[in-house]
Each structure stands twice: as structure tokens, then as C-alpha cells.
Amino acid sequence: MELDVMNISGKSTGKKIKLSEEIFGIEPNDHAIYLDVKQIMNNKRQGTHKAKERSEVKGSTRKIKRQKGTGTARFGDIKNPLFRGGGRVFGPRPRTYGGKLNRKVKDLARRSALAYKVQNKQLMVVEDFTMESPKTSEFAIIQKNLKLDDKKSLFVINERNKNVYLSSRNLQNSKVITLSELNTYEIMNASALCFVESSLDVLQKNA
């Protein structure tokens, strides 16, 4: 499969780039995508939640009432979980949510996500461009020229470009990342995936 290479004016440059069947032509694996996205989202969790249990709540340890003869249930101290202000039973503790996922599964998930973008016609290639200074208005014009202004777009560049990144940072539906930052979640979260020509070349060479 071939795609036209567009320029930032939204017009075809006349060049075409051939997509690798090993990456963009595979049968997508939904379960691999699920596992990878789940791991990525779990790794973002801080896991710093903590609730005080009975032994950690501040309060007297005096027995509230005698054990027998009251006609009601027996109680210990005021820190009983049944009382307001008492400790929590089996409350959350600090923990790590991150897990391990095999590299081959992560690679399959990313290729599957890219294959979905091709199938849904949500992938485009733009020739390399740069910006002399951070200008949000100029980047917004680029988006409009490429008909991406009303879509959640993800631009993938080969190397970090501070001006391009700063120009896109204040736009709600746009995000710019480097090729090394590209993962399954970022691909699936975008409704339009835009590769800069050099980044797509590197992706296909390293496949």
C-alpha cells in the first residue's frame, strides 16, 4: 500500500511512500492491544493511596463498656471500624500497579494499532517541516490545511523539535511526540495519526 506525501499546505508533493506490510498490513490482535494499553495506563498510576487502619487511628484504647450484661454487642475501644472515626477494614495501601509485558507482545500491539489506523484511513504522511519560532497560530493553520483541526491528531516527528512542540502544546486536540515516545495507547487515543516523512522511514527501517 502507498500513501501520498503531503506538505504543510495540505497539498500533495507528488511523492509516494510505500507502507511496510510487516507493520501496517498485519491482522490486528485486539488482545495484545488491550494488554499493552492496560500496562501503559497502570504504569501511570501513582499508587500512593493510603487509609488508616485500626492500629493507626488516633484514639483511646480504653474499653468502652463492660463485656457482658449490657444486652448489646460487645465492643472494644473507640477505634473499632464500626464506629464513626474508627479505622478502616482492609483499606487501600501504597502499591505499585505496573507490570511486565513481553517485548514481542508490545511490538505486536503497536503494529496492530498502526494497522487499524491504515484500515480506518486515519494515517497520513507529511514531508519534514520545521518552525523558526514557537507560533501556536502557525501550527493551527497547518492543522487546518491538513483538515485535522476538528480531529484529535497525533504528530510523530523523528527528533525532538522544541519550536514544533511548543507551538502545538496549547492546542487542545493536538499532540506532538517523537518516534521513541510512540506507543499503543497514543496511537489508539488519536483519531488522526500524522507521520513526518523521516519518522516513518526510520520506523520502517527498524522494524
Helix, strand, or coil (residue 19): coil
Q: Does domain 2-28+98-205 match CATH 3.30.465.10?
A: no
**What's the CA gap between 4 and 11, in Å, rounded?**
10
Q: List per-residue pLDDT tens for the chain, 207 residues long.
A: 788 888 888 888 888 888 988 999 899 999 999 999 999 999 999 999 999 999 999 999 999 999 999 999 988 999 999 999 999 999 999 999 988 999 999 999 999 999 999 999 999 999 988 888 999 999 999 999 999 888 899 999 988 889 999 999 999 889 999 999 999 999 999 999 999 999 998 998 886
**What's the CA gap between 117 and 187, in Å, rounded?**
8
pTM tops 0.75, yes or no = yes
Instruction: Answer for the pair 99, 40: CB distance below 8 angstroms, yes or no.
Output: no
Cell of 125: 504522511
